[in-house]
Copies of this chain bind each other. A is one copy, B any other.
Amino acid sequence: DDLKKQQAVKSSDPYSSDPERHPALVINSLKPFNAEPPPEILSDSYITPSALFFKRNHLPVPQVDLASYRLHVEGLPGGKLTLSLEELKTRFPKHTITATLQCAGNRRSEMNKVKQVKGLNWGIAAISNAKWSGARLRDVLQAAGYGPDVAQSARHVQFEGLDKDVTGTTYGASIPLNKAVSEEGDVLLAYEMNGEDIPPDHGFPVRVVVPGVVGARNVKWLGKIIVSAEESSSHWQQNDYKGFSPGTDWDTVDFKSAPAIQELPIQSAITSPADGAMIDRSEETITVKGYAWSGGGREVVRVDVSVDGGKTWNVARLSSGDKGQTPEPSPPPGRAWAWKLWEVSAPLPAEAQEMEIICKAVDNSYNIQPDTIPPIWNLRGVLSNAWHRVKVKVREDESEE
């Protein structure tokens, strides 16, 4: 009887078939599942293990049956193209890229401290880095009849997920056509993440990976691709994931007035030490670690770190791989899709009892992060990329007291 009741509850809960998750994840929302790893874990490995990669679901994880799974491609002169997973894997060359994905809401919690915003209260770890393998979207669109003529009328490529809300509305988003078809855009219909089948939380069996572009356009559980004159009509493309002036509130906001977020701006954060950590005076130097990334394939070229609240700056050492391993080769210009991890050691300021540690990154277009959050505050709390600041306390050695 109890069992029956449990099953009834289970089947009425669209989240009942969501996969199990790694216990180390910090949960922001359970249904839909949204969680980020502890920040220190991010800088432990250049490639984030899939189980620890941040999870950002808008809806229940759909259960996909591979036997009946088909990817539909529409809106091209060749008519409709329909592909099974096997066809996607065998008809198109497999291409692998290392790409960082970041949620538009990463670091929203810092905006929330300035003034309440609407959205999940992400810390600094709604960003992760993985190796993705799959067919190039460009190749699939060409097989479906894409040619230069299409660009006369079409401007966008829309994606529909297989994840649905209770009314049957699926998640959807779009990207500019030129990103989708450019040889240098590296947009993938990915079926592998870190060398294995993409896990259910990350879009099994196929997700779009749009490197350099906000997570929200990297549609998971991909069901349909539509080449179109219009952007996706979905809520998430039209009435969400856009940036506004700090003076814009829910009474005055006009979502039509701002472009949908695509490429993200320069970002960096300190993963260690944690805010509030205690440092022993005897250590003499402090080691600071973190990540830095920029959208649009712009490479991070420098990270400045201050241990005195921004009065003086040290240049961090950047890395594109783990210690003792061969770093990833330098990407061609405009195709730096992966983050850099960084580390710097600085002497403890002589007198300080409390230190404010700050990082700020620079990309190869020399874009920089803004100093403070209030001037970039926006009602949805997206694009939170001001300098990251943590405060630590210095504990005097007992012998000296």
Contacts and interface: CB of A to CB of B under 8 A. Distances in A.
Interface in A262-279: 262-266
B375 A247 contact: no
Nearest to A304: B245
A369 B372 CA distance: 11
B365 A302 contact: no
A314 interface: yes
Contacts of A375: 304, 310, 313, 360, 371
B368 A371 contact: no
A321 interface: no
A366 interface: yes
> How many copies of the shown chain assemble into the complex?
2
A179 B314 CA distance: 32
Contacts of A264: 365-366
Contacts of A365: 262-265, 295-296, 367
Given A258-B302, A365-B262, A365-B295, A313 B376 contact: no
A330 to B, nearest CB: 11
Interface residues of A, number: 44
A332 interface: yes
Contacts of A176: 333-334
A69 to B, nearest CB: 32
Given A178-B184, A246-B304, A246-B313, A376 B368 contact: yes
Contact of A304 (B247, B367, B368): B247
A66 to B, nearest CB: 35
A206 B266 CA distance: 36
A48 to B, nearest CB: 23
B370 A383 contact: no
Contacts of A364: 259, 262-263
B263 A178 contact: no
Given A178-B334, A333-B178, A360-B375, A247 B313 contact: yes
Contacts of A295: 365
7 A-B pairs closest in CB distance: A371-B371, A263-B365, A265-B367, A247-B313, A367-B367, A176-B333, A265-B366
23 contacts: A176-B333, A176-B334, A178-B332, A178-B334, A245-B302, A245-B304, A246-B304, A246-B313, A247-B312, A247-B314, A259-B301, A262-B365, A264-B365, A265-B366, A265-B367, A266-B367, A295-B365, A310-B375, A360-B375, A366-B383, A367-B367, A368-B376, A370-B370
Interface of A: 176, 178-179, 184, 243, 245-248, 258-259, 261-266, 295-296, 301-302, 304, 310, 312-315, 332-334, 360, 362, 364-372, 375-376, 383
Given A245-B302, A370-B371, A371-B375, 10 more contacts: A178-B334, A243-B362, A246-B304, A247-B304, A258-B301, A265-B366, A296-B365, A304-B375, A360-B375, A367-B367
